[in-house]
Every structure is written in C-alpha cells, then in structure tokens.
Structure 1
Amino acid sequence: MPLRKIFKMSHETQTKIYSKLIVLYFNFKKYFFYSRSTNIPQKQHILAMWHAHQCGIYGIEGKKNMNVMISRSKDGDIIASAAKSLGINTVRGSQSRGGAVAALEMIEALKAGQNGAITIDGPRGPKRIVKKGIVEIAKISGVPIVPMTWYSPSWGFFKLKTWDEFRFPLNCIKMVILYGEPIYVKPDATEDEIEVHRKAIEDELNALYSRVKKDFKHLWKTGQKLKDRT
C-alpha cells in the first residue's frame, strides 16, 4: 500500500494536529521571543496589517480583546484553530468566501467595545494592495483604523514560497512593532473618500515599514516591552 494512503488524514484531523503543533510552538517560543512596540494605540482600534506580517499579532498587547479576521480556506481553518487555543478571538471570512458575514461579526465585536485586526491584502493578494473592506467596516462601526507593521533583523525566519512571501519565526528573535496614527472614517464617507482612505492606509504601511527597518536599533532601545506574554 502506498505511503500516501497510509498517512492520508482527513482535513479535520490535519487541522487538529497542525493547530496543536502551532500552539505548542508558540507556547515554547514565548520564552525566546522579544518585542518592543512604539506608538501603541490607547483607544479602541482596528489594526491594518499586511498578510505576510500576521505573526506580529503574537507580539501585541491585549490579544484576548482582539478579533482577527481569518479566511474560510483550509489553511485558515488551521490558523483559526491555533489562534483560538492561544486566546485570540477570530471571525471567519474573506472577500471571496463569507466576507459579508465576517464583516458583520467584526462590526458587532467592535460595537461591543473590542478591537479588530485585518490582513488588508489577504487572503490571496495582490501583495501589498489594500482592499477597501476595512474602510467600510471602520465607516459603519465608527472605530478608527491603525496601520501596524513589524520588522526584525534576526536571521531565523522561514520565508514561505507563497504570494505574500509569508515569514515565520524559527529561532530566538527580536522584533519591533510600529503603529501608525489612527485613521477615522466618517459615517457618511463617499466612495471617493473611501478610496482616499484606502490609499492612505497603503501609503502609511509602506512608510512605517521603511521607518522601522531603517531605525530598528533606536526603536528597539526606546520601544515599550511586551508585558502580556499570554
């Protein structure tokens, strides 16, 4: 009998195994993971980040009050299961599958006083092109958008051969997380104004990444240490 048949597992079984491995990894990893944050938002917000940078969620404060939008793909099932075990709330959906339902769930969570996080070029790209969904959610909820990015000069990252060039930490790393200024969207914003906000998020994320990469040493010395290790 071919080995692929012997080791063939259902998607449900794969999800359980892979998600538990991720949880085990991050529970161990927290003892070798060091982050500093600059300009941490003090009020309710929706984090906007690139799909390739979603590992940065692990290094933020207040994860238990965070709702992360994750796609309904098979890979999304694994990530969502692991996130739940790590104490991070999730809403499931993307532009192509269940997006409307996920947007409504996110808006409900925001109106209940919680925070949100969205990978604004996911789930399939194009890379580093912001989709307008996050602006629509901010418009309806009244919660501002805060661009967020991170950078680490550490060599211990595994870059996946995916559309977003996703980077996964493998060893002891130092990471600086940089937040932008909040972007408010008026409840009566027009389509033209929504496009202006969409482009502003895109430009701000690119500017933040350039800054954190250039000024890493200074930001590491002056940034706030992560207190919430859970």
Structure 2
Amino acid sequence: MKFRKQYQNFLRFIGTYVLYMLSQTLCKTLRIYSTGSDSIKSLLTEKKKFVLAFWHGTMVIPWFAHRDLNLLAIISKSKDGDLLAKILRKWNYTVVRGSSSTGGNVALQIMIDHAKHECPVAITPDGPLGPNFKMKAGAVITAKKSEVPLVLVGVGCKSKRKLHSWDNFEVPFPFSKVQLVYSEPILIDKNLSYDETSKMILQCEEKLNELQKKAQEFSD
C-alpha cells in the first residue's frame, strides 16, 4: 500500500510537471496585445492593491499574462483545482483554496485581507462550476470590503479550441493572436446595501461580458 501511494504521488508529480511545461511553452508562443492596460499599470506603479477578474473559461491566458505581478489566486478545492494550484504556484502566485461551495467563507476573508494589506487578488468570478459568464459575489465583495478597485479583463483569442465543459474552456493554439481588454478601475462603495451590491454585481457582469466581446472582436 505504501509503495502504491508513493507511485501514485510520483505519477501526479510527473503529470503536473509535464502539464506545466506544456502550458509554459504554449503560452510563450502567443502574441499577446492589450487595450486599457494603463489602468492596471498605474495601480502597480502607485503600489495600490486591486482585484482582477476574468471569466473561468478564458483563464489560461490571463493567469499566464499576469504571472509576474505577485497576485493571490483563489482556486477551488476540486481535483482540477489541485492541478491548477500547482501550476499557479510555479507562476509565482500565492494560492488560496476555496470556492462558493467548500471553504468559501474562509477563502473570501483571506482574499479581503490580502487585497487590503498584502497584494492584489485575481479571481474567476463564475467559477468553479458556473453558470458560464454569470458573476458570483466574490470579486465585488472582496473589492467592496477591502476598499480597493475592481479591474475586469476580457480575453480574446483568434485561434483556439473550445472544450465541451460548462465554461466552454478555451485552449489557445500555438502562436495565436490574443487580446486583453481592461476596464477602468471600478470603485465600490463599502456602504452599499445588500440590494445595491447585488445590482453592482450585475453591472460588473454586464461590463465583463462587454469587454469579452470587444476582446474577441479585436483578436479576430
């Protein structure tokens, strides 16, 4: 039993390493362009914290593109999340495990604390199980309670494969043209009521979907 467990752990390690190397090699071939990135550059120059949000199905590219920004990432406790967490740690992310269904409250509080005192936070607001392109509360609540701006980013990829998953997960083809489109920093009043916060979540969802559409148009 002990040998079998060690063997399984070894296979997981090899699998993670191979996937990391494939992801790294693929992403380095991409031609990544950006629109509106001055907003995030200004925040970084001024050493201000923020929350960065992008849709779950597009996450490969923004995770890679922002790997050197010292971000905290919120990743689900699923088996798929295990693999992603290991890759993101290799991409210099601080990883916190949790989701809307397991460990969510603890993870949310950690995100708020980090966004307020430590480092910017990145989140896929429709993850880990969707619905696709429907924003849950985490990104807005984190920005609201930590009193930092929320920056949304749409991701367009000219050549890609869409998987048959709930999020239509996108895998870019090598050397594909990619466009990132950023929103202006969105400040969320910490005194908003529950109903006002719910309305803000819907507005941010609409805005992120607009950015997603623009990014895809620019990349085509």
Task: Work out whether 1:188 is the aligned partner of 2:191.
Answer: yes
Q: Does the aligned pair in 2 maintain the 1:15–1:81 contact within 8 Å?
A: no
Q: Does the aligned pair in 1 maintain the 2:154–2:214 contact within 8 Å?
A: no
Candidates 196, 203, 208, aligned match of 1:205: 208
Match of 2:54 in 1: 49
Q: Does the aligned pair in 1 maintain the 2:27–2:61 contact within 8 Å?
A: no
- Seen in structure 2, the aligned counterparts of structure 1 residues 210 and 169 have a Cα distance that, compared at 3 Å, is closer
Match of 1:139 in 2: 144
Match of 2:77 in 1: 72
Following superposition, the deviation at residue 73 of structure 1 comes to 0.4
Task: Work out whether 1:32 is the aligned partner of 2:37.
Answer: no
Following superposition, the deviation at residue 207 of structure 1 comes to 1.0
Larger displacement relative to structure 2 (13-22 or 176-185)? 13-22
Q: Which runs of 5+ in 1 are unaligned?
A: 1-5, 218-230
Secondary structure at the counterpart of residue 73 of structure 2? strand
Match of 2:46 in 1: none
Match of 2:176 in 1: 173
Task: Work out whether 1:18 is the aligned partner of 2:15.
Answer: yes
Q: Which runs of 5+ in 2 are unaligned?
A: 44-48
Larger displacement relative to structure 2 (13-22 or 106-115)? 13-22
The letter of the residue matching 2:99 is: S
Secondary structure at the counterpart of residue 15 of structure 2? helix
The letter of the residue matching 2:124 is: T
- Measured on the aligned residues, the alpha-carbon RMSD in Å equals 2.0
Task: Work out whether 1:120 is the aligned partner of 2:125.
Answer: yes
Candidates 157, 161, 165, aligned match of 1:158: 161
Match of 1:226 in 2: none
Identity %: 30
Match of 1:220 in 2: none
Q: Distance in 2 between matches of 1:62 and 1:78?
A: 16
TM-score under structure 2 normalisation? 0.86
Q: Does the aligned pair in 2 maintain the 1:56–1:149 contact within 8 Å?
A: no
Following superposition, the deviation at residue 216 of structure 1 comes to 3.5
Q: Distance in 2 between matches of 1:125 and 1:196?
A: 19
TM-score under structure 1 normalisation? 0.82
- Seen in structure 2, the aligned counterparts of structure 1 residues 33 and 58 have a Cα distance that, compared at 3 Å, is farther
Match of 1:224 in 2: none
